[in-house]
């Protein structure tokens, strides 16, 4: 077999196939076919679309590891070790990993296709032995998977309930509902005992362990199943309820606080807690506000952003969430292309010595701003804002991904123009851009350190603090209409590209809002539309 130029033999299985297209008729047929499929029958590499032999497979040169100085976020007592526990790597939402990602030395690419159509494995976590725990989205429902980190073989699988947005997309031919739905388990976390904690589409919170049976096979075991429907409206679209008359309020994210309570938020602005010892839930409502992002937790409180304001919460003695402070921001006049809703697209970042600061972005019409606030309880409202820094070009700036934070530094990318995997077909790309901003040592404001032209349409980027490289998932415009995707490494200190490695062609390799995750063994994993991609140094 002849391998594509720059691709080590054996790293990409299968032969090139036609470009994947997101068409409603195909989706409906696939949903029916999948219902009769065996669990692991579709395991294979993600197929390449035409054009992969006509693009460069590697550009740049291997980097030298230069660890960045400073202390990482405090280790959360109820989360897996930092770097292993969730989409944003830790309780503070830093987007940093203490592991050294690939340096670009003969990088090898492998992938795993998890469904006939779709199958994106978004949040990736790692248990104490380095095995992958992830949730992959299919038309039948999300799949909780235990995977081998080297081969990407599935070791165990559990099907989660189908989301109402998937049923709506198939029955009403409106796939935008899927791409703007952050509920159903996409945001989950791995706890301090290697258990997955997630909220499914039934408005239940599940705590799920994995274990190896006497015959050597692995299985998932539901240890706890807590029902939130007494507090959350749940008249949702389903195959037996195609035209509901009530309200459906999906749970979007869960995280623990430092006392062990499980906090949860819903799309329609409910903020709640669950006491895992008693199973008692409590909640409050942010009337007229939406929450589409995850949230962050420090020892002294919980930071949540809605489409109207940034909040600091604590729990009262009985677990009821209480607002400590609230700051509104410029939410603009509408939803921009590249945003899920009319509001901030970021999970709050808690950073600085002792988590002094919290940062988000706004949705201002002309240029989006990075906003940094002081977190302290006693800060007067007029003094809470540290800085407001406009980023990217006029009329073309938004992000729907969390910032990276390390020390007093923030890194933000521009997602303007990305809507779903059809947005970038036929060689198109986004305007792009990445910017690093630092808070001044005396807290008097912020300064722009560097700007980059990297085009990272929709990924949650990451920083390896062990080697000083930022990782993005990049797509550049192509005059021949080839849709080529790359893992790109950028120097955290200077903003210069170090190298980029081709991962695949076509919409099946579109990242579609999933994060890059750095594994304990130095591998970079990327959730893509048709599954998961792994990039690791060769040799």
- Considering all CA atoms of the chain, what is the largest pairwise distance in Å, rounded to the nearest integer? 68
pLDDT in tens, 41-99: 445 899 999 999 999 999 999 999 999 999 899 999 999 999 999 999 999 999 999 99
**10 Å Cβ neighbour count for 194?**
17
Percent of the chain predicted with pLDDT > 70:
91
Coil vs helix vs strand at 170: helix
- Whether 28 shows a pLDDT value over 50: the answer reads no
Residues 63/103, Cβ–Cβ less than 8 Å: yes
- Whether 40 shows a pLDDT value over 50: the answer reads no
Nearest one of 335, 483, 363 to 421, comparing CA atoms: 483
Coil vs helix vs strand at 73: coil
- Whether 237 shows a pLDDT value over 70: the answer reads yes
Per-residue confidence (pLDDT) for residue 138, from 0 to 100: 85
Q: Residue 338 is encoded by which pair of tokens? A: 């590249």
DSSP assigned state of 507: G
Angle 479-483-484 from CA coordinates, rounded to 5°: 105
Per-residue confidence (pLDDT) for residue 341, from 0 to 100: 92
- Give dist(CA 389, CA 519) in Å, integer: 32
pLDDT in tens, 277-287: 999 999 999 99
Q: Specify the long-range contacts of residues 469-476, CB closer than 8 Å, at least 24 apart.
A: 469/63, 469/101, 469/103, 469/498, 470/404, 470/411, 470/434, 471/101, 471/516, 471/518, 471/524, 472/413, 472/434, 472/516, 473/503, 473/511, 473/516, 473/526, 474/500, 475/424, 475/429, 475/430, 475/510, 476/429
- Give dist(CA 84, CA 466) in Å, integer: 15
- Give dist(CA 249, CA 232) in Å, integer: 6
- Give dist(CA 537, CA 539) in Å, integer: 7
pLDDT in tens, 147-161: 999 999 999 999 999
- Give dist(CA 88, CA 94) in Å, integer: 6
The average pLDDT across 20-49 equals 49
Work out the mean pLDDT of the chain and round it to a whole number. Answer: 91
SS3 assignment for 114-148? CCCCCCEEEEEEECCCCCEEEEEECCCCEEEEEEC
Residue with tokens 């994995």: 210
Domain chopping of the chain, boundaries: 24-536
Q: Sheet containing 281-285: give its strands across.
A: 251-256, 262-266, 270-274, 281-285
Per-residue confidence (pLDDT) for residue 167, from 0 to 100: 85
Going by C-beta distance under 8 Å and a sequence separation of 6 or more, which residues neighbour residue 500?
Answer: 58, 59, 60, 474, 486, 487, 488, 489
Per-residue confidence (pLDDT) for residue 43, from 0 to 100: 56
Going by C-beta distance under 8 Å and a sequence separation of 6 or more, which residues neighbour residue 443?
Answer: 356, 374, 386
**10 Å Cβ neighbour count for 325?**
19
- Whether 23 shows a pLDDT value over 70: the answer reads no
- Whether 475 shows a pLDDT value over 70: the answer reads yes
- Whether 1 shows a pLDDT value over 70: the answer reads no
Percent of the chain predicted with pLDDT > 90:
83
Beta strand extents in 397-530 (DSSP E only)? 404-406, 409-413, 434-439, 446-452, 462-464, 469-474, 484-491, 497-505, 516-518, 524-528
Beta bridge partners of 246: none
- Whether 128 shows a pLDDT value over 80: the answer reads yes
The average pLDDT across 418-432 equals 94
Coil vs helix vs strand at 169: helix
- Give dist(CA 456, CA 448) in Å, integer: 19
Topology, domain 24-536: Methylamine Dehydrogenase; Chain H (2.130.10)
Per-residue confidence (pLDDT) for residue 314, from 0 to 100: 98
pLDDT in tens, 323-367: 999 999 999 999 999 999 999 999 999 999 999 999 999 999 999
Tell me how far CA of residue 78 lies from CA of 222, 252, 319, in angstroms. 18, 20, 17
- Give dist(CA 421, CA 440) in Å, integer: 39
Residues 485/478, Cβ–Cβ less than 8 Å: no
Phi, psi of 54 (to 5 degrees): -105, 5
Going by C-beta distance under 8 Å and a sequence separation of 6 or more, which residues neighbour residue 12?
Answer: 3, 4, 45, 48, 109, 110, 111, 504
State if pTM tops 0.75. Answer: yes
- Give dist(CA 449, CA 195) in Å, integer: 39
Tell me how far CA of residue 234 lies from CA of 238, 318, 528, in angstroms. 11, 24, 30
- Whether 29 shows a pLDDT value over 70: the answer reads no
- Give dist(CA 316, CA 300) in Å, integer: 13
pLDDT bin (cut points 50, 70, 90) of residue 19 is: very low
The average pLDDT across 258-269 equals 97
pLDDT bin (cut points 50, 70, 90) of residue 139 is: confident
- Whether 27 shows a pLDDT value over 70: the answer reads no
Going by C-beta distance under 8 Å and a sequence separation of 6 or more, which residues neighbour residue 133?
Answer: 124, 125, 126, 127, 144, 145, 146, 147, 190, 194, 196, 210
* H or E segment and range at residue 44: none
């Amino acid at each position: 077999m002849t391998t594509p130029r720059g691709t080590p033999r054996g790293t990409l299985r299968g032969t090139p196939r036609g470009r994947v297209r997101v068409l409603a008729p195909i989706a409906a047929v696939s949903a029916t076919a999948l219902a009769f499929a065996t669990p692991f029958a579709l395991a294979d590499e993600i197929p390449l679309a035409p054009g992969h032999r006509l693009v460069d497979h590697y550009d740049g040169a291997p980097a030298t590891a230069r660890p960045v100085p400073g202390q990482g976020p405090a280790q959360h007592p109820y989360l897996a070790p930092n770097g292993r526990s969730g989409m944003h790597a830790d309780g503070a939402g830093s987007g940093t990993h203490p592991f050294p990602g690939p340096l670009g030395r003969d990088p090898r690419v492998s992938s795993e296709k998890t469904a006939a159509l779709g199958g994106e494995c978004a949040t990736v976590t790692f248990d104490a032995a380095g095995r992958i725990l992830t949730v992959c989205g299919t038309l039948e429902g999300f799949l909780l998977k235990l995977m081998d980190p080297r081969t990407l073989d599935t070791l165990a699988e559990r099907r989660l309930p189908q989301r109402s947005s998937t049923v709506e997309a198939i029955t009403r031919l409106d796939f935008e509902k899927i791409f703007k739905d952050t509920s159903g388990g996409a945001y989950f976390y791995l706890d301090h005992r290697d258990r997955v904690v997630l909220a499914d589409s039934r408005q239940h919170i599940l705590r799920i362990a994995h274990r190896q049976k006497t015959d050597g096979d692995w299985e998932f075991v539901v240890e706890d199943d807590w029902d939130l429907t007494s507090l959350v409206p749940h008249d949702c679209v389903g195959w037996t309820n195609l035209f509901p008359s009530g309200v459906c309020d999906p749970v979007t994210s869960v995280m623990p606080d430092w006392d062990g309570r499980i906090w949860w938020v819903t799309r329609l602005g409910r903020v709640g807690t669950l006491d895992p010892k008693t199973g008692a839930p409590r909640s409050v409502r942010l009337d007229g506000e939406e929450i589409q992002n995850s949230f962050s937790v420090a020892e002294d409180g919980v930071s949540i952003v809605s489409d109207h304001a940034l909040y600091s919460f604590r729990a009262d003695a009985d677990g009821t969430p209480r607002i400590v402070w609230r700051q509104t921001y410029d939410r603009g006049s509408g939803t921009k292309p590249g945003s899920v809703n009319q509001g901030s697209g970021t999970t709050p970042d808690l950073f600085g010595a002792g988590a002094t600061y919290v940062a988000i972005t706004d949705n201002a019409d002309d240029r989006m701003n990075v906003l940094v606030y002081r977190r302290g309880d006693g800060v007067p409202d007029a003094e809470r804002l540290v800085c407001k820094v406009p980023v990217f070009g006029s009329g073309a700036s938004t992000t729907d991904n969390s910032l990276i934070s390390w020390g007093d530094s923030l890194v933000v990318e521009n997602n303007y123009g990305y809507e779903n995997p059809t947005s970038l077909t036929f060689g198109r790309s986004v305007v792009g851009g990445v910017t690093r901003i630092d808070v001044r040592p005396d807290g008097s404001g912020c300064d722009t350190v560097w700007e980059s032209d990297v085009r990272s349409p929709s990924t949650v980027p990451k920083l390896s603090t062990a080697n000083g490289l930022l990782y993005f998932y990049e797509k550049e415009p192509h005059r021949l209409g080839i849709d080529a995707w790359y893992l790109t490494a950028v120097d955290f200190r200077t903003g210069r590209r170090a190298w980029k490695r081709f991962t695949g062609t076509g919409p099946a390799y579109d990242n579609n809002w999933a994060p890059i995750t750095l594994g304990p063994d130095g591998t970079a994993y990327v959730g893509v539309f048709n599954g998961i991609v792994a990039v690791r140094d060769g040799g």
